[in-house]
């Protein structure tokens, strides 16, 4: 059986391309790369050609996510695993693979209806070192762990957990029981899944309007969390969840709104994924809610 190895790339559709360039470059500290295509630009976090493609398509939401497998043999095995599960896929044409800057690619939708891709062989530009648009103390932690983690909309969490564990080979289960107005029994019971050393690469089980609630990115220097927090405050960017530490990944983080109205989580110091399940009823400290309307109106 082939397992996915990392959450490798995301495509997002946005209404305001210029606002996103400013936000990603000057607030978040990514590298903005505009190759003159007009309908898109790229966000870099490391040597990869890109980690996020920002499309001028107006959805203000996630439009696809790319999960990596090790190589061509694993991609062939993944095709069989999808077929065995009854999930139809299309094989990316050479033009589609070039568009994503990967060697090979398949496309399908996950049980939540989220456009999903599995690929191997990303374009890695060692000739062009990562150069953030504003100074940083350290780097994004992506080596062997991918872009970060995301919260995806899954109307049927049991179907999603079956898909991501049995087809993608990920591991995980419920990790929190949290009071949440509007959730069944007033309780959110989100599930968290890992596929590498990152504590989790995927979570779901929150009621959500958009496909994505937040994308977590991690840095290797605590000062970058403080500096980014200053820049978020100075730029008037809404903070949805204040600084604090999660009980599951034990990361020091905070959450702020992006120009599309969903969230970035920015943190430092996460522990590695554990291989025995446990759950929590509260975060370690902090993480008080602040700005509302981002789908994270719960008591952490």
Where do contacts with Fe ion occur on this chain (CB under 5 A)? 216, 265
**Looking at beta carbons only, is 216 or 243 nearer to Fe ion?**
216
**Looking at beta carbons only, is 190 or 259 nearer to Fe ion?**
190
Nearest residue to Fe ion on Cβ basis? 216
Q: Note whether 297 and 241 are within 8 A (CB).
A: no
Q: Note whether 169 and 27 are within 8 A (CB).
A: no
**Looking at beta carbons only, is 42 or 255 nearer to Fe ion?**
255
CB of 227 to Fe ion, least distance (A): 20
CB of 216 to Fe ion, least distance (A): 4
Name the CA radius of gyration of the chain, rounded.
18
Q: Give the pair of three-digit tokens for residue 86.
A: 């009854």
CB of 18 to Fe ion, least distance (A): 27
What residue spans of the chain are helical by DSSP H? 17-22, 72-85, 94-100, 157-162, 222-234
Q: Give the pair of three-digit tokens for residue 95.
A: 């033009």
CB of 214 to Fe ion, least distance (A): 6
**Looking at beta carbons only, is 62 or 69 nearer to Fe ion?**
62
Q: How far apart are CA 190 and CA 197, in angstroms?
A: 20
Give me the numbers of helices (H) and strands (E) for the chain, helices first please: 5, 19
CB of 92 to Fe ion, least distance (A): 29
CB of 70 to Fe ion, least distance (A): 26
Those residues whose C-beta lies under 8 Å from the C-beta of residue 229, and which sit 6 or more positions away, are 243, 254
What are 9's strand-pairing partners? 66
Could you give the C-alpha distances from 101 to 64, 97, 252, 285, in angstroms and in order?
Answer: 14, 6, 33, 41
CB of 149 to Fe ion, least distance (A): 6
Phi/psi of residue 95, nearest 5 degrees: -65, -40
Q: Note whether 34 and 15 are within 8 A (CB).
A: no
């Amino acid at each position: 059986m082939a397992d996915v190895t990392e959450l490798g790339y995301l495509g997002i559709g946005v209404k305001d391309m210029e606002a996103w360039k400013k936000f990603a470059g000057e607030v978040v500290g990514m590298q903005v790369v505009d190759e003159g295509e007009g309908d898109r630009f790229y966000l870099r976090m490391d040597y990869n050609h890109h980690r996020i493609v920002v499309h001028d398509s107006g959805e203000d939401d996630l439009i696809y996510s790319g999960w990596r497998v090790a190589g061509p043999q694993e991609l062939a095995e993944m095709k069989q695993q999808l077929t065995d599960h009854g999930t139809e896929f299309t094989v990316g044409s050479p033009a589609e693979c070039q568009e994503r800057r990967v060697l090979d690619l398949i496309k399908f939708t996950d049980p939540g209806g989220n456009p999903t891709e599995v690929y191997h062989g990303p374009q890695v530009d060692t000739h062009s070192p990562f150069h953030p648009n504003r100074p940083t103390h350290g780097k994004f932690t992506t080596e062997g762990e991918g872009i970060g983690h995301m919260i995806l909309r899954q109307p049927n969490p049991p179907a999603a957990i079956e898909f991501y564990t049995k087809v993608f080979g990920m591991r995980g289960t419920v990790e929190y029981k949290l009071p949440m107005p509007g959730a069944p029994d007033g309780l959110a019971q989100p599930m968290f899944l890992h596929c590498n050393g990152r504590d989790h690469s995927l979570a779901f089980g929150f009621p959500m309007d958009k496909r994505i609630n937040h994308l977590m990115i991690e840095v290797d220097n605590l000062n970058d969390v403080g500096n980014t927090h200053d820049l978020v405050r100075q730029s008037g960017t809404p903070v949805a969840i204040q600084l604090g530490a999660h009980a599951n990944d034990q990361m020091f983080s905070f959450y702020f709104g992006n120009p599309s109205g969903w969230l970035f989580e920015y943190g430092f110091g996460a522990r590695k994924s554990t291989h025995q399940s446990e759950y929590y009823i509260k975060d370690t400290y902090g993480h008080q809610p602040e700005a509302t309307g981002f789908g994270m109106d719960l008591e952490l």
